[in-house]
Amino acid sequence: DGGITQSPKYLFRKEGQNVTLSCEQNLNHDAMYWYRQDPGQGLRLIYYSQIVNDFQKGDIAEGYSVSREKKESFPLTVTSAQKNPTAFYLCASSIVTGNYGYTFGSGTRLTVV
């Protein structure tokens, strides 16, 4: 079945530590996105990529980094510079035109311990 796989489902980060969230899709979609969801805040765009080896900052990119070396993969690194990383992280993909909406992965819940 085609879809988006995010791993891990739950992740715990110590203060000052970098962690990487995985996102893989087999939908042959060109565009991929990372959103962060906090209670009562809705979804906020972190980074997006419309083509391999290219990506753009979203609305809240500070403290995060991404890479897009393969069409299928778009990992997100939460760096130690992100001071409040506890949130629900959602990866999504779409046909590049964006007119068909997004398909979301199941999400990664990150908690700082």
Partner 1 sequence: QKEVEQNSGPLSVPEGAIASLNCTYSDRGSQSFFWYRQYSGKSPELIMSIYSNGDKEDGRFTAQLNKASQYVSLLIRDSQPSDSATYLCAVNRNNRLAFGKGNQVVVIP
Q: What is the per-residue burial (b if ≥16 Cβ within 10 Å, else e) of 69-79?
A: eebbebbbebe
Task: Please name which of 31, 25, 20, 41 lies closest in space to residue 106, comparing C-alpha atoms.
Answer: 25
Q: Is 97 in the site for partner 1 (CB under 8 A)?
A: yes
Q: Which of 11, 13, 27, 50 binds partner 1 (CB under 8 A)?
A: 50
The verdict on 90 binding partner 1 (CB under 8 A) reads: yes
Residue closer to partner 1 by CB (options 75, 107) is 107
Q: Which of 19, 33, 64, 85 binds partner 1 (CB under 8 A)?
A: 33
Least distance (Å) between residue 99 CB and partner 1: 5
The residues, ordered by sequence, that sit 6+ positions from 60 with a Cβ below 8 Å of its Cβ are: 36, 44, 45, 46
> Are 98 and 31 within 8 A, CB to CB?
yes
Provide the binding-site residues for partner 1, judged by CB under 8 A.
Answer: 31, 33, 35, 40-43, 45, 48, 50, 58, 90, 96-107
